[in-house]
């Protein structure tokens, strides 16, 4: 069974949640100290997730990322830690219910770990 890319995984979740806006197209990559991850690490993680063309933003907090998502009509922004785990998601400025956000984050993290090469 082929592994889903993060984009495919989120699009499937969006269909399941009946929300076509749920597409991952902007990513903020941080290490465990909140610093921007090394570009090579970010690029490797994005390739594993099938996100080669994804815009990578660094040093952007949740409020600013949400504002960018709304202003640029970017449906979803995700913040990753240095291990590639997703910390949170923002969909415009509209808050995501905690349970729904947790379910999406968990599914994306599972998809990314499956997409990572051995």
Determine the longest span between alpha carbons in the chain, in angstroms. Answer: 38
Report the distance separating Cα 78 and Cα 62, nearest Å. Answer: 9
- At 112 the pLDDT is 55
Average pLDDT, the chain: 52
Is the pTM higher than 0.85?
no
pLDDT in tens, the chain (118 residues): 233 444 455 555 555 555 444 444 444 445 555 555 554 554 455 445 444 333 334 345 566 656 655 655 555 556 555 555 555 555 444 445 555 556 666 666 665 555 555 4
Going from N- to C-terminal start, the domains of the chain cover 6-115
Q: Name the pairing type of β-strands 76-80 and 86-90.
A: antiparallel
């Amino acid at each position: 069974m082929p592994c889903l890319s993060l984009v495919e995984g989120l699009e499937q979740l969006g269909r399941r949640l009946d929300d076509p806006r749920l597409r991952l197209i902007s990513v903020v990559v941080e290490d465990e100290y909140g610093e921007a991850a090394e570009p090579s690490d970010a690029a490797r993680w994005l390739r594993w997730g099938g996100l080669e063309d994804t815009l990578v933003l660094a040093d952007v907090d949740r409020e600013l990322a949400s504002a960018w998502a709304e202003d640029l009509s970017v449906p979803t922004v995700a913040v990753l830690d240095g291990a590639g785990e997703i910390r949170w998601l923002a969909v415009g400025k509209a808050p995501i219910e905690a349970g729904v956000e947790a379910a999406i984050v968990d599914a994306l993290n599972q998809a990314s770990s499956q997409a990572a090469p051995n």
